């Protein structure tokens, strides 16, 4: 078993460390590094059909749903189309408004999640065009979709999803750029810049992985807490949700992810000297707003763990603990920011001695309702 895990203690840790490689496998066959072109042979809508689209609807469950939420930020800003995101289990029963001018994007690592599959079928019945983002080749969702974009992350064994998530985000980025170009919102030189940023990402991911030991020590410091709060804004809000989900899935600590601006409408009541609050506080258009939220947490003696750039002294001087991340573009930053949260959840769970790869009550793929 140790050999299968390539020397890592758990599949989850191995899969976290595979992410720089997995990302490259997602994009390398789809980009021409010289011309800055994106080649999506798997996408079956012609340019006229793309121009006729009126909206994009994304359906997914669990971690894949969080990828869809990040995708909404990417696709709305790149393609200037309304993007709606729903959970498979909600979408399938609400008589959703979709038609032949809707592109239904289903996102699923396994391609077998019953609720996501049912959502895809429901949308197809209503005439929607369909595109699946899947990791498992030949899975049901892949087979039943008009177009399939494979993430090529390789098999994911740990129940808590890691490399499937970051490769889903890269997929959404490539799809967004591709559609934006067809719709005339991106010029070739802009696409080239966006791709250059993507090509740099695997190295930056490695820089975050190099913080592994420091993150374990941080885990040691906070592992006894009974509750955690995760805060983010904008495109980082879904990453707060994902960080909280990772922690609760494998460590069984209650954790909540929240959009930081909404804190005053509820979660602020929970803050005291026992509550670790993980904040995503890198430079972004809402950085100042995030700083105010950090101050609100500190004023109530919450223990702030900030994920921020290593040279971001504004944050570092304020908070109890900082996890440094390198700089990248706003659209790609979620991919970088989720890594320390995966590692933090992993180490806290491992230190508490839970069954990290097979957490109680959870399944890798939920093929029944």
Please tell me the distance from the alpha carbon of residue 348 to that of residue 12, in angstroms, as a whole number: 13
Measured from each CB, the residue nearest to ligand G6P is 62
Kindly state the smallest distance separating residue 219's Cβ from ligand G6P, in Å: 20
Residue 55 as a binder of ligand G6P (CB under 6 A): the answer is no
Q: Is residue 364 among the annotated active site residues?
A: yes
Choose one: 61-69, 173-181, 297-305, 338-346; the region binding ligand G6P (CB under 6 A).
61-69
Kindly state the smallest distance separating residue 293's Cβ from ligand G6P, in Å: 27
Among 102, 109, 194, 282, binds ligand G6P (CB under 6 A): 109
Q: Which two tokens stand for residue 301?
A: 């003696």
Among 26, 89, 102, 110, binds ligand G6P (CB under 6 A): 110
Q: Which of 5, 124, 221, 364 is catalytic?
A: 364
Closer to ligand G6P at the Cβ: 109 or 333? 109
Residue 194 as a binder of ligand G6P (CB under 6 A): the answer is no
Residue 62 as a binder of ligand G6P (CB under 6 A): the answer is yes
Residue 89 as a binder of ligand G6P (CB under 6 A): the answer is no
Residue 366 as a binder of ligand G6P (CB under 6 A): the answer is yes
| Residues in binding contact with ligand G6P, number by CB under 6 A | 16
Kindly state the smallest distance separating residue 95's Cβ from ligand G6P, in Å: 23
205-234: contacts with ligand G6P (CB under 6 A): none
151-190: contacts with ligand G6P (CB under 6 A): 159-161
Closer to ligand G6P at the Cβ: 161 or 322? 161
Residue 269 as a binder of ligand G6P (CB under 6 A): the answer is no
C-alpha 347, offset from chain centre: 19
Please tell me the distance from the alpha carbon of residue 340 to that of residue 192, in angstroms, as a whole number: 28
Residue ranges in contact with ligand G6P by CB under 6 A: 61-64, 108-110, 113, 116, 159-161, 362, 364-366
**Active site members:** 364
């Amino acid at each position: 078993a140790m050999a299968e895990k390539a020397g890592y203690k758990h599949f989850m840790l191995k899969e976290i460390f595979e992410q720089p490689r997995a990302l490259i496998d997602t994009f390398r066959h789809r980009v021409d590094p010289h011309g800055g072109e994106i080649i999506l042979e798997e996408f079956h809508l012609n340019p006229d059909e793309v121009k006729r689209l009126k909206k994009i609807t994304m359906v997914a469950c669990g971690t894949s749903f969080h990828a869809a939420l990040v995708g909404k930020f990417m696709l709305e800003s790149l393609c200037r189309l309304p993007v709606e995101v729903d959970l498979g289990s909600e979408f399938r029963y609400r008589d959703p408004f979709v038609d032949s001018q809707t592109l239904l994007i289903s996102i699923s690592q396994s391609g077998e999640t019953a609720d996501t599959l049912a959502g895809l079928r429901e949308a197809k019945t209503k005439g929607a065009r369909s595109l699946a983002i899947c990791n498992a080749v030949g899975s049901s969702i892949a087979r039943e979709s008009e177009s399939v974009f494979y993430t090529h992350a390789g098999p994911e064994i740990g129940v808590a999803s890691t490399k499937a998530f970051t490769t889903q985000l890269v997929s959404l980025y490539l799809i967004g750029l591709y559609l934006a170009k067809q719709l005339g919102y991106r010029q070739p030189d802009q696409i080239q810049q966006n791709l250059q940023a993507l090509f740099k990402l695997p190295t930056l991911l490695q820089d975050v992985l190099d913080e592994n030991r420091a993150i374990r020590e941080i885990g040691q410091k906070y592992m006894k807490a009974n509750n955690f709060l995760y805060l983010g804004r904008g495109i980082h809000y879904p990453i707060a949700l994902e960080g909280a989900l990772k922690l609760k899935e494998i460590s069984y600590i209650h954790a909540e992810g929240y959009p930081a601006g909404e804190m005053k409408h509820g979660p602020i009541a929970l803050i005291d000297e026992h509550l670790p609050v993980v904040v995503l506080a890198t430079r972004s258009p809402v950085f100042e707003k995030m700083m105010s939220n950090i101050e609100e947490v500190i004023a109530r003696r919450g223990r702030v763990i900030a994920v921020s750039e290593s040279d971001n002294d504004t944050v570092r001087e304020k908070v109890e603990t900082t996890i440094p991340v390198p700089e990248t573009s706003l659209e790609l930053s979620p991919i970088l920011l989720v890594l320390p949260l995966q590692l933090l959840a992993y180490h806290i769970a491992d230190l508490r001695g839970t069954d990290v790869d097979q957490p109680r009550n959870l399944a890798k793929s939920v093929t029944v309702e």
